[in-house]
Amino acid sequence: MAYVAARGGERAIAASEELHGRLSGPLSGELVRAIERQLPYLVDRVMGEGSLYAPELAALALAQTGGDLYEAVLLLRAYRSTQPRIAYAQPVRQGELRTVRRISAAFKDIPGGQILGPSLDYSHRLLKLGVLDGQNVELGMLNVELPSEQETSSADEHSAFNIQHSTLPAVADWQRAEGLLEPLPAGEPADPAGLPDVTREPISFPAPRAHRLQSLARADTGGVLALGYASMRGYGMSHPTVNELRLGYAELTLRHPVTGVAFSAGRVRVSQAEVVDTGAGKPGESPLRLGFTATIGWNEVKTIAGAMLDLEMSAPDPHPAHREEFVLYHTEPVESSGFCIHYKLPHYVTFGSALDNLRKAAGEGRREGETLPEATPSAGEAK
């Protein structure tokens, strides 16, 4: 390696990183496996925002950062950006998802049935304090009989998500058949390799639908929730109902490069939400409009809030905070968190430059009764 201008700064960096590592304790394969096995919802969130389905790597990222979510997501994204595209999987249809949980708020019952599946929705949010006294809280102590006749997912045989599942038709299919929703575009789904890819090309607005859905899929859960909640609470133009919320496993189907035969390379956890707007039917159009968000991993808050934002963004004149550019730029977890923490960097050159103006304005240029400006007029200055 060539000469490196080693300075005090580099020793400080090494010491700082070392100190951080010591506070969160030693890394081990055991720790990584425990995180992967026992904190699946956390792993899912990191995979979703990192847009890389790799439970083991997501668990490693969490362990390595001491559980700092944004750092873990960045680790995964930076790793992801070095990986080549080996192949494109076949599109997954809703009805083919191996579904473990599926709720519709729009109807009391739906073709295929409502499936409560794994959820804390109706749990009493009480801390199990007994655990602290050495009491073991095992699955099964509830004495609930779980059905076992259905096949289990081989890909997740050893995971906490080893749950029965079934394939179910989409609620929207029924609505389309009834003429309540626009029919799906005719023909085969687009060639996956030809889809616009937000990780390989810059986004511009109005964004292609693929870019919007990809951005929502990798968006910051908290950010999507904040903007989505603003819409739900009253700043929104639409009044949506959850048409269908699904958690399931998607078959990752590839075509063999030589024989062209389709085969499964495994299954990935996915979640999706569809909301319908009941308030915007125009004469001559279908009465219902759909909002949609899907992500890898199981993340109900993000998909529901994202689906509502999808509806808002498509509305003719959305609230400024629900315009496509506003939503997609500001819910990008790596960019927003990175820019936020960049304010820790020194800014003394820009600050000095502003000070020069302020002093001059306070001296010569100020008129009678004029006060010192509190900030420089341009927002784009001291970054």
Residue ranges binding another protein (CB under 8 A): 1-5, 7-10, 12-13, 74-75, 77-78, 80-82, 84, 199-206, 323, 325, 334-335, 337-342, 345-350, 352-357, 360-361, 364-367, 370, 373, 376-383
Task: For the CB of residue 332, give the shortest distance to another protein in the complex, in Å.
Answer: 8
Q: Which of 41, 81, 34, 76 shows the shortest CA–CA distance to 58?
A: 76
Task: For the CB of residue 214, give the shortest distance to another protein in the complex, in Å.
Answer: 12
Contact in structure between 361 and 372 (CB atoms under 8 Å): yes
Question: What is d(CA 207, CA 187) in angstroms, rounded to the nearest whole number?
Answer: 23
Convert 154-170 to b/e letters by CB count within 10 Å (16 or more is b): ebbeeeebebbbeebeb
- Concatenate the DSSP letters of all residues of 128-169 into one string: -GGGGGT----TTTT-------SPPPSTTTTSTT----EE--
Q: Decide whether 271 or 337 has the Cβ nearer to another protein.
A: 337
Q: Decide whether 118 or 208 has the Cβ nearer to another protein.
A: 208
Q: Decide whether 4 or 193 has the Cβ nearer to another protein.
A: 4
Q: Decide whether 121 or 356 has the Cβ nearer to another protein.
A: 356
Task: For the CB of residue 139, give the shortest distance to another protein in the complex, in Å.
Answer: 37
Task: For the CB of residue 270, give the shortest distance to another protein in the complex, in Å.
Answer: 22
Task: For the CB of residue 344, give the shortest distance to another protein in the complex, in Å.
Answer: 9
Structure tokens belonging to residue 341? 């923490």
How many alpha carbons lie under 13 Å from residue 100 in its C-beta half-sphere?
A: 24
Contact in structure between 312 and 238 (CB atoms under 8 Å): yes
Task: For the CB of residue 199, give the shortest distance to another protein in the complex, in Å.
Answer: 7
Q: Decide whether 259 or 378 has the Cβ nearer to another protein.
A: 378
Contact in structure between 105 and 246 (CB atoms under 8 Å): no
Q: Which of 167, 170, 64 shows the shortest CA–CA distance to 107?
A: 170
Q: Decide whether 166 or 336 has the Cβ nearer to another protein.
A: 336
